[in-house]
């Protein structure tokens, strides 16, 4: 999925263009029709992200919770405010949607493949407004000027505020939604070191620390030069803390750029190139068999809890 940075970007886009207005809420696909009717016509008062969960609070008192899972994405149409002032807006946030670049005309450039979608001018697409829903749109949130279409989410439900709070309570700290990063870090260290499970698995456990997915997991562990198979209990406190601190650095960068660029060794020019060339972005993720960028040893891929785990068998060691 879309790891945590993407969901924060979605929350920001919704905040910029749909929050504070009464919205037409519908379910073109039909699977969310009854719940959509409850929200329809109400004002979206806030949109926020915790880990990979998106929460949209409505004036009716209802909270829309969305989790994109592996396939989900939001497609935006109509007027869009660039998330970064001066830059183009993103038409699609979530799972890869490269093909949309073909659909949407000429003066677009392809967005970073990692994030899918395309970058276009603002407004970023032509044609009648609102556009006809394309494919299975679970939820459409529409103002007079902006449409957000949700497709393929693994979770999409209406909760009351207490239920939404209960979801958040089950999550570990998210650096982008915590006010006290130091205290949150201490809690993550405690949770990481409380179990004998492999640290590679613990970083993916959303109840330990929220928002990390398979790419950030692999990259954080490489950056720490830590063997992912090290049991959590054997990770020294300072190493666990460094993992959190590193996550707290990478996440804001990912939110700002929309790209999971995890290499701190790049020159500014190389960094610019890496924003559009995925083969330059990562230390180990997706690089099975290719030489480690530090020592040249072939990067290894193996299964960990049914997910692909990438690591350098030489650089990443046990404490």
Partner DNA sequence: TTCGCATGAGAAA
Partner DNA sequence: TTCTCCTGCGAAT
Interface with DNA (CB under 7 A): 1-3, 6, 29, 31, 51-52, 67, 69-71, 95-100, 113-116, 135-136, 151-152, 154, 204, 206, 213-215, 260, 305-308
Q: Of these residues, 9, 12, 28, 52, which one is catalytic?
A: 52
Is the CB of 44 or the CB of 191 nearer to DNA? 191
Active site residue 2: yes
Task: Please state the closest distance from residue 309 (CB atom) to DNA, in A.
Answer: 9
Q: Which one, 244 or 310, has the nearer CB to DNA?
A: 310
Q: Which is nearer to DNA, 33 or 237 (CB)?
A: 33
- The answer to whether 83 touches 12, Cβ cutoff 8 Å, is yes
CA distances from 247 to 117, 219, 240 (A): 25, 10, 11
Find the shortest distance in angstroms from Cβ 97 to DNA: 5
Residue 44 or 219: the one with the smaller Cβ distance to DNA is 219
* Choice between 91 and 185, CB closer to DNA: 91
Query: Sign (positive/negative) of CA torsion 1, 215, 235, 304?
Result: positive
Catalytic residue among 99, 103, 233, 307: 307
Taking alpha carbons only, the member of 135, 167, 132 closest to residue 150 is: 135
Per-residue tokens: 239: 């190493």
3-state helix, strand, coil in the chain (%, to 5): 30, 25, 45
Checking phi first, is residue 149 left (phi over 0); if not, alpha (psi -120 to 50) or beta? beta
Q: Which is nearer to DNA, 44 or 213 (CB)?
A: 213
Report, in Å, the least distance between residue 135 CB and DNA.
Answer: 4
Least Å from the CB of residue 20 to DNA: 29
Q: Residues 3, 108, 115, 219: which is the catalytic one?
A: 3
In the complex, what is the shortest distance from the CB of residue 142 to DNA, in angstroms, rounded to a whole number? 19
Q: Decide: 220 and 212 in contact? Cβ < 8 Å.
A: yes
Task: Answer for the pair 219, 274: CB distance below 8 angstroms, yes or no.
Answer: no
**Does 271 qualify as catalytic in the annotation?**
no
Nearest Cα to Cα of residue 98 among 73, 81, 133, 77: 73
For residue 225 the two structure tokens come to 């030069």
Least gap, CB of 307 to DNA (angstroms): 6
Backbone angles phi, psi at 274, to 5 degrees: -70, -20
The helix (H) or strand (E) run that includes residue 26 is strand 24-26
Cα(214)–Cα(317) distance, rounded to whole angstroms?
19
Q: Active-site residues: which are they?
A: 2-3, 52, 307
């Amino acid at each position: 999925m879309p790891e945590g940075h993407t969901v924060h970007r979605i929350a920001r886009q919704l905040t910029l263009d749909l929050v504070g207005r009464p919205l037409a809420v519908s379910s073109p696909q039909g699977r969310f029709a009854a719940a959509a009717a409850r929200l329809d016509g109400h004002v979206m008062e806030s949109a926020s992200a915790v880990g990979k969960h998106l929460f949209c609070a409505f004036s009716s008192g209802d909270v829309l919770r969305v989790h994109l899972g592996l396939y989900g994405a939001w497609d935006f149409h109509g007027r869009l405010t660039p998330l970064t002032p001066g830059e183009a807006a993103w038409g699609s946030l979530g799972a890869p949607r490269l093909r949309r670049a073909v659909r949407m005309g000429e003066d677009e450039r392809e967005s970073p493949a990692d994030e899918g979608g395309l970058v276009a001018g603002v407004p970023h697409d032509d044609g009648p407004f609102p556009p006809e829903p394309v494919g299975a749109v679970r939820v459409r949130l529409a103002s007079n000027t902006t449409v957000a279409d949700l497709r393929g989410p693994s979770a999409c439900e209406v909760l009351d505020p207490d239920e939404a709070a209960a979801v958040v309570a089950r999550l570990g700290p998210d650096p982008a939604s915590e006010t006290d990063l130091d205290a949150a870090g201490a809690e993550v260290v405690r949770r990481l070191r409380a179990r004998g499970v492999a640290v590679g698995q613990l970083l993916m456990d959303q109840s330990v620390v929220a928002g990390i997915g398979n790419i950030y997991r692999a990259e954080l562990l490489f950056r720490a030069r830590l063997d992912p198979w090290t049991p959590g209990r054997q990770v020294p406190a300072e190493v666990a803390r460094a993992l959190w601190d590193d996550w707290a650095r990478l996440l804001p960068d990912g939110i700002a750029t929309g790209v999971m660029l995890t290499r701190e060794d790049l020159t500014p020019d190389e960094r610019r190139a890496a924003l559009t060339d995925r083969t330059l972005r990562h230390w180990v993720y997706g690089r099975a068999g290719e030489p480690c960028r530090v020592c040249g040893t072939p990067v290894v891929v193996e299964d960990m809890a049914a997910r692909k785990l990438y690591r350098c068998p030489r650089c990443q060691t046990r404490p």
